[in-house]
Amino acid sequence: MKDDEQGRKHDSSALREKAENLLRGRASELHDLCDVEIEKLLQELHTHQIELDLQNEELRRVQIELEITRDKYYDFFDFAPFGYFSISEKGLILETNLRASNLLGLERGFLIDKPFSQFVAPDSRDAYFRHRRSLLETSKPQTVEITMIRQDGTHFFAHLESLIVFEGPSSRCRQQSAVTDISELKEVERALRESRDYLQTVVDAVPVATFVIDLDCQVLLANNAARRSIGDSGGYVGDGLTCSDLICRTHFSCNPDKESCPLHRVIETCSPVTLTHHYEDASGHTRVIEISAAPIFDHQGEVVQMVESHRDITEQTRAEATLRREKDNLLNVLEAMQDGVYIVDEEYNIRYVNPVLAKDFGPYEGRKCYDYFQGRRDVCPWCKSIGVFQNKTVRWEWHSPTTERTYDLIGTPLKNPDGSIHKLEIFRDITDRKKMEQELAAVNETLERRVAERTAVIEQRAAQLRRLATELTRTEQRERRRLGRVLHDHLQQLLVGAKFQLGQLERQFVQDREMRSIVGRIQDTIDQSLTTTRSLNVELSPPVLHEGGMRHILDWLASWTEEKHGLEVTVAVDPAVDSIGGDRMGQELREVLFFGVRELLFNVVKHGGVDRAFVKASSLGHDRIIVEVIDEGAGFDTDIIEDRGQPAAGVGLLGLRERLEALGGRIEIVSSRGAGTHVTLIIEIDDR
pLDDT at 314 over 70: yes
Give yes or no for residue 40 having a pLDDT over 80: no
- Cα(495)–Cα(258) distance, integer angstroms: 112
* Residue 417 shares a structural domain with residue 439: no
Any domain includes 319 = no
Between 442 and 80, residue with greater pLDDT: 442
Burial 411-424, CB ≥16 within 10 A → b, else e: bebbeeeeeeebbb
pLDDT given at position 116:
92
- Domain with 484 in it: 430-541
Mean pLDDT value across residues 126-151: 92
pLDDT reported for residue 251: 46
- Residue where a domain terminates, one of 370, 392, 423: 423
Q: Is residue 122 part of a domain?
A: yes
Mean pLDDT of 295-318: 88
Judge if 214 and 298 occupy the same domain.
Answer: yes
Average pLDDT score, the chain: 79
Is pLDDT above 90 for 418?
no
Q: What is the structure's pLDDT at 133? A: 92
The per-residue pLDDT for 543 is 66
Which tens digits make up the pLDDT trace of 195-218? 888 888 887 888 888 888 888 888
> What are the pLDDT digits (tens) for 328-370?
888 888 888 889 999 999 999 999 999 999 998 999 999 999 9
d(CA 686, CA 688): 6
pLDDT at 416 over 90: no
607 with 620, same domain? yes
* Per-residue confidence band for 146, with pLDDT thresholds at 50, 70 and 90: very high
Verify that 44 and 89 share a domain, yes or no: no
Q: Is the pLDDT of residue 124 over 90?
A: yes
In a domain, 644, yes or no: yes
* Per-residue model confidence as pLDDT tens digits over 518-570: 777 777 787 777 677 766 666 666 766 666 677 888 888 888 888 888 888 88
193 shares a domain with 153: no
What pLDDT score was predicted for residue 8? 53
Give me the percent of the chain exceeding a pLDDT of 70: 74
Cβ(373)–Cβ(380) under 8 Å? no
State residue 645's pLDDT score.
45
pLDDT band at 235 (very low <50, low <70, confident <90, very high): very low
Looking at the domain assignment, is residue 320 inside a domain?
no
Same domain, 553 and 534: no
- Residue with more model confidence, 538 or 52: 52
- Picking from 294, 314, 320, the residue whose alpha carbon sits closest to that of residue 305 is 294
Instruction: Say if residue 143 is in the same domain as residue 51.
Output: no
pLDDT bracket for residue 1 (50, 70, 90): very low
When divided into structural domains, the chain yields a total of 6
Same domain, residue pair 307 and 352: no
Report if residue 123 sits inside a domain: yes
pLDDT of residue 646: 45
Per-residue pLDDT at 154: 93
Cα–Cα distances in angstroms (integers) from residue 221 to residues 197, 218, 275, 353, in the given order: 11, 9, 20, 54
Beta partners for 265? none
Which has more pLDDT, 420 or 233?
420
Q: Are residues 234 and 340 in the same domain?
A: no
Query: How far is the C-alpha of 460 from the C-alpha of 670, rounded, in Å?
Result: 32
Report helix, strand and coil shares of the chain as percent, to nearest 5: 55, 25, 25
Whole-number Å distance between alpha carbons of 192 and 184: 12
Domain co-membership, 658 together with 630: yes
Interval 599-636: pLDDT, tens: 888 888 888 888 889 988 888 777 788 889 889 888 88
Does a structural domain hold residue 323? Answer: no
Choosing from 45, 61, 77, the residue where a domain stops is 77
Residue 321 domain flag = no
- pTM score of the predicted model: 0.37
Query: Are 216 and 296 within one domain?
Result: yes
CATH code for position 173: 3.30.450.20
Q: 133: number of CA atoms within 13 Å, CB side?
A: 6
CA gyration radius for the chain? Answer: 62
**Which amino acid is it at 609?**
G
Question: What are the backbone dihedrals phi and psi of residue 488, each rounded to the nearest 5 degrees, phi first?
Answer: -80, -45
Domain contains 85: yes
Among 608, 616, 602, which Cα is nearest to 652's? Answer: 602
pLDDT confidence bin for 232, thresholds 50/70/90: very low
* Averaged pLDDT, 218-242: 68
Residues 664 and 675 in one domain: yes
Give SS3 for 432.
helix
Which of 137, 161, 181 lies at the terminal end of a domain, its last residue? Answer: 181
Q: What average pLDDT does this structure show over 385-400?
A: 90
Q: What number of CA atoms fall less than 13 Å from residue 150's CA on the CB side?
A: 15
In the prediction, which pLDDT does 649 show? 39
